[in-house]
């Protein structure tokens, strides 16, 4: 039998033991394999939640509802504008991408 298969929680130390306690030993072992000797960054919960909030704001944005979104999310209209701008650069809405495809392009020539 392989020694790797015999590893238990008691064989783990520090943060990886905490991972085994929070998830299970198999999950801790997977992290060991993937990140062994390296550094794993775990973002703050607020950062992940903010990402979801920003995506929802962008999805609800209709071009004119800065104030409504600011009130709904307890932000300023300036913050909403910044969020929309950042989200637009990361993931343009389908309609925006379609418009870009059909903009005048000097290199595009219609075939007869």
Please write the tens of the pLDDT for every residue from 5-31. Answer: 999 999 999 999 999 999 999 999 999
> CA torsion 57→44→8→26, rounded to 10°?
20
Task: Give the torsion sign (CA, 76, 77, 82, 87).
Answer: positive
Task: Tell me: do 50 and 24 sit in the same domain.
Answer: no
Look at the block and give the residue holding tokens 């298969």.
Answer: 5
Give the domain extent around 28: 3-35
pLDDT single digits (tens) 93-105: 665 544 555 555 5
pTM of the model: 0.62
One domain, residues 86 and 58: yes
Q: Look at residue 91 in the predicted model and tell me its pLDDT.
A: 79
State the DSSP code for 102: T
pLDDT at 72 over 90: yes
Q: Do residues 59 and 30 share a domain? A: no
């Amino acid at each position: 039998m392989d020694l790797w298969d015999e590893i238990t929680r008691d064989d783990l130390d520090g943060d990886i033991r905490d991972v085994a306690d929070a998830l299970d030993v198999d999950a801790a072992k997977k992290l060991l394999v993937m990140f062994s000797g390296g550094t794993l960054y775990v973002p703050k919960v607020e950062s992940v939640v903010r990402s979801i909030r920003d995506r929802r704001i962008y999805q609800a944005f209709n071009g004119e509802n800065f104030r409504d979104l600011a009130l709904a999310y307890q932000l300023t209209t300036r913050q909403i504008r910044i969020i929309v701008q950042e989200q637009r650069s990361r993931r343009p809405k389908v309609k925006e991408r379609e418009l870009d495809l059909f903009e005048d392009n000097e290199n595009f020539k219609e075939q007869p």
